Amino acid sequence: MERDAIKAAIIRIFDEKFEIVDPSADDNLRDAYEFDSIDAVELLHEIEILLDTQLSQAEKKNAMEIRTINQIVDYIEALAQDRCLAKSSGSEPCLSTMEQ
C-alpha cells in the first residue's frame, strides 16, 4: 500500500469517524482538533480494519505518542512492513497486505 493511499484512507477515516475534515499533515491533532486518547483507541480499531490485521498490545501502546497525520502514516507503513516481512520471512520482496 503506497503512502499516498494510506494517507487518503486516514483522511477519510478522520472525516467519517471523527468529523475532522482534511487535517494538515503536521498539525498536532490534540491541540488542533481535541483528538484525545479515546479517539486514538478508536483510530487503532480502524487501522486494524484497514490492514485486516490485529494489533498487539505493544503496537497499540507505541501509538499513544503519535500526534500528527504524518506520524500515523509512518506508523501504518511500519505495521504493514512488519506483517509483510513476517509473512515472507524476508526471503521475497515485500508487498503490503493491501496490495495482495
Question: CB within 8 A of 78, min separation 6: which ones?
Answer: none
18 binds another protein (CB under 8 A): yes
Cα gap 100→58, rounded to integer Å = 26
42 binds another protein (CB under 8 A): yes
Please give the grid coordinates belonging to residue 47: 487501522
41 binds another protein (CB under 8 A): yes
Q: Which of 2, 26, 34, 99 binds another protein (CB under 8 A)?
A: 34
Instruction: Tally the C-alpha atoms within 13 A of residue 77's C-alpha that lie toward its C-beta.
Output: 12
**Residues contacting another protein: total by CB under 8 A:** 13
49 binds another protein (CB under 8 A): yes
Cα gap 8→11, rounded to integer Å = 5
Q: What are the residues binding another protein (CB under 8 A)?
A: 18-19, 34, 36, 38-39, 41-42, 45, 48-49, 52, 54
